[in-house]
A = this chain, B = another copy of it.
Amino acid sequence: MTEPRWLNADERRAWLALVSINTLLPAALDTKLHAAGKLSLFDYTVLAMLSEAEDRFLPMSELAARSSASLSRLSHVVTKLQKRGWVERRPHPHDARVTTAHLTEEGMATIVGLAPGHVEDVRDLFLDALTEQDVLDLARIGEKVVGRLDTDHWILREN
Protein backbone atom coordinates (compact mmCIF):
# COMPACT_ATOMS: atom_id res chain seq x y z
CA MET A 1 0.00 0.00 0.00
CA THR A 2 2.28 2.78 -1.26
CA GLU A 3 1.41 6.47 -1.34
CA PRO A 4 -0.69 7.11 -4.45
CA ARG A 5 0.67 9.33 -7.22
CA TRP A 6 -1.59 12.37 -6.95
CA LEU A 7 -2.41 14.33 -10.06
CA ASN A 8 -0.05 17.11 -11.08
CA ALA A 9 -1.36 20.50 -12.17
CA ASP A 10 -1.76 19.65 -15.85
CA GLU A 11 -3.26 16.26 -15.20
CA ARG A 12 -5.73 17.90 -12.87
CA ARG A 13 -6.61 20.52 -15.47
CA ALA A 14 -7.17 17.86 -18.11
CA TRP A 15 -9.21 15.73 -15.76
CA LEU A 16 -11.41 18.53 -14.46
CA ALA A 17 -12.04 19.83 -17.95
CA LEU A 18 -13.05 16.39 -19.15
CA VAL A 19 -15.41 15.83 -16.24
CA SER A 20 -16.98 19.24 -16.79
CA ILE A 21 -17.43 18.70 -20.51
CA ASN A 22 -18.90 15.40 -19.66
CA THR A 23 -21.74 16.90 -17.71
CA LEU A 24 -22.22 20.16 -19.62
CA LEU A 25 -22.14 18.95 -23.22
CA PRO A 26 -24.74 16.17 -23.06
CA ALA A 27 -26.95 18.39 -20.93
CA ALA A 28 -26.83 21.18 -23.51
CA LEU A 29 -27.48 18.83 -26.43
CA ASP A 30 -30.24 17.05 -24.54
CA THR A 31 -31.96 20.38 -24.00
CA LYS A 32 -31.68 21.27 -27.68
CA LEU A 33 -32.90 17.90 -28.89
CA HIS A 34 -35.69 17.82 -26.40
CA ALA A 35 -36.87 21.19 -27.64
CA ALA A 36 -36.59 20.09 -31.27
CA GLY A 37 -38.20 16.68 -31.01
CA LYS A 38 -38.79 15.38 -27.49
CA LEU A 39 -35.84 13.03 -27.56
CA SER A 40 -32.56 12.65 -25.71
CA LEU A 41 -29.04 12.62 -27.12
CA PHE A 42 -29.00 8.89 -26.56
CA ASP A 43 -32.29 8.41 -28.43
CA TYR A 44 -30.86 10.47 -31.26
CA THR A 45 -27.66 8.43 -31.32
CA VAL A 46 -29.61 5.18 -31.57
CA LEU A 47 -31.64 6.48 -34.51
CA ALA A 48 -28.50 7.88 -36.15
CA MET A 49 -26.65 4.58 -35.89
CA LEU A 50 -29.58 2.75 -37.45
CA SER A 51 -29.88 5.32 -40.23
CA GLU A 52 -26.22 4.81 -41.13
CA ALA A 53 -26.37 1.01 -41.02
CA GLU A 54 -26.79 -1.01 -44.17
CA ASP A 55 -30.52 -1.53 -44.84
CA ARG A 56 -31.18 0.51 -41.69
CA PHE A 57 -31.23 -2.32 -39.20
CA LEU A 58 -28.83 -3.84 -36.68
CA PRO A 59 -28.89 -6.60 -34.10
CA MET A 60 -29.55 -5.25 -30.63
CA SER A 61 -26.06 -6.10 -29.40
CA GLU A 62 -24.38 -4.38 -32.34
CA LEU A 63 -26.56 -1.35 -31.83
CA ALA A 64 -25.65 -1.37 -28.16
CA ALA A 65 -21.95 -1.45 -29.04
CA ARG A 66 -22.31 1.44 -31.47
CA SER A 67 -24.13 3.55 -28.93
CA SER A 68 -21.77 2.54 -26.09
CA ALA A 69 -24.70 1.35 -24.02
CA SER A 70 -25.66 -1.75 -22.09
CA LEU A 71 -28.09 -4.11 -23.72
CA SER A 72 -30.51 -3.41 -20.91
CA ARG A 73 -30.47 0.31 -21.44
CA LEU A 74 -30.86 -0.12 -25.16
CA SER A 75 -33.74 -2.55 -24.75
CA HIS A 76 -35.71 -0.05 -22.67
CA VAL A 77 -35.01 2.75 -25.13
CA VAL A 78 -35.92 0.68 -28.18
CA THR A 79 -39.22 -0.13 -26.48
CA LYS A 80 -39.83 3.58 -26.13
CA LEU A 81 -38.82 4.35 -29.72
CA GLN A 82 -41.01 1.50 -30.88
CA LYS A 83 -44.02 3.02 -29.16
CA ARG A 84 -43.38 6.21 -31.11
CA GLY A 85 -43.29 4.27 -34.35
CA TRP A 86 -39.65 5.08 -35.15
CA VAL A 87 -38.19 1.60 -34.70
CA GLU A 88 -39.41 -1.96 -35.14
CA ARG A 89 -38.16 -5.18 -33.57
CA ARG A 90 -37.92 -8.30 -35.72
CA PRO A 91 -36.54 -11.76 -35.07
CA HIS A 92 -33.31 -12.67 -36.86
CA PRO A 93 -34.00 -15.21 -39.63
CA HIS A 94 -31.00 -17.46 -38.90
CA ASP A 95 -30.38 -17.11 -35.18
CA ALA A 96 -33.46 -17.14 -33.02
CA ARG A 97 -31.62 -15.55 -30.09
CA VAL A 98 -31.05 -12.36 -32.03
CA THR A 99 -33.49 -9.46 -32.25
CA THR A 100 -32.89 -6.85 -34.92
CA ALA A 101 -33.94 -3.24 -34.58
CA HIS A 102 -35.19 -1.64 -37.80
CA LEU A 103 -35.58 2.04 -38.49
CA THR A 104 -39.07 2.74 -39.88
CA GLU A 105 -39.79 5.29 -42.60
CA GLU A 106 -41.21 7.51 -39.93
CA GLY A 107 -38.06 7.12 -37.85
CA MET A 108 -35.94 7.96 -40.88
CA ALA A 109 -38.01 11.04 -41.54
CA THR A 110 -37.55 12.10 -37.94
CA ILE A 111 -33.79 11.87 -37.99
CA VAL A 112 -33.50 13.48 -41.41
CA GLY A 113 -35.47 16.38 -40.05
CA LEU A 114 -33.43 16.62 -36.89
CA ALA A 115 -29.92 16.08 -38.26
CA PRO A 116 -29.14 19.52 -39.71
CA GLY A 117 -30.09 21.28 -36.51
CA HIS A 118 -28.19 18.78 -34.43
CA VAL A 119 -25.03 19.18 -36.48
CA GLU A 120 -25.32 22.94 -36.12
CA ASP A 121 -25.63 22.50 -32.37
CA VAL A 122 -22.57 20.28 -32.23
CA ARG A 123 -20.61 22.92 -34.11
CA ASP A 124 -22.03 25.68 -32.03
CA LEU A 125 -21.43 24.13 -28.63
CA PHE A 126 -18.22 22.35 -29.35
CA LEU A 127 -16.40 22.27 -32.66
CA ASP A 128 -16.47 26.00 -33.34
CA ALA A 129 -14.37 26.54 -30.23
CA LEU A 130 -11.54 24.56 -31.80
CA THR A 131 -8.91 25.09 -34.49
CA GLU A 132 -8.19 22.45 -37.11
CA GLN A 133 -5.16 21.41 -35.11
CA ASP A 134 -7.26 21.10 -31.96
CA VAL A 135 -9.68 18.80 -33.78
CA LEU A 136 -6.81 16.60 -34.93
CA ASP A 137 -5.28 16.50 -31.45
CA LEU A 138 -8.60 15.71 -29.87
CA ALA A 139 -9.34 12.92 -32.34
CA ARG A 140 -5.93 11.38 -31.63
CA ILE A 141 -6.19 11.70 -27.86
CA GLY A 142 -9.83 10.71 -27.74
CA GLU A 143 -9.22 7.53 -29.67
CA LYS A 144 -6.36 6.64 -27.34
CA VAL A 145 -8.66 7.01 -24.36
CA VAL A 146 -11.45 5.03 -26.00
CA GLY A 147 -8.95 2.28 -26.72
CA ARG A 148 -7.95 2.16 -23.10
CA LEU A 149 -11.56 2.00 -21.95
CA ASP A 150 -12.62 -0.60 -24.50
CA THR A 151 -9.98 -2.33 -26.59
CA ASP A 152 -12.50 -3.52 -29.18
CA HIS A 153 -14.57 -0.38 -29.44
CA TRP A 154 -16.28 -0.10 -32.79
CA ILE A 155 -14.96 3.37 -33.62
CA LEU A 156 -11.47 1.89 -33.65
CA ARG A 157 -12.34 -0.75 -36.23
CA GLU A 158 -10.37 -0.56 -39.47
CA ASN A 159 -12.35 1.13 -42.30
Contact = CB atoms under 8 A, between A and B. Distances in A.
Interface stretch (A32-40, A83-91, A94-102, A125-133): A125-133
A61 interface: no
B19 A143 contact: no
18 contacts: A4-B116, A4-B119, A10-B136, A11-B135, A13-B142, A13-B143, A17-B139, A17-B143, A18-B25, A20-B146, A20-B153, A21-B142, A22-B26, A23-B67, A24-B150, A126-B148, A130-B144, A137-B138
A114 to B, nearest CB: 11
Q: For chain A, give the interface size range.
A: 35 or more
Contacts of A4: 115-117, 119-120
Interface of A: 3-7, 10-11, 13-26, 28, 45, 67-69, 115-117, 119-120, 122-123, 125-130, 132, 134-150, 153, 155
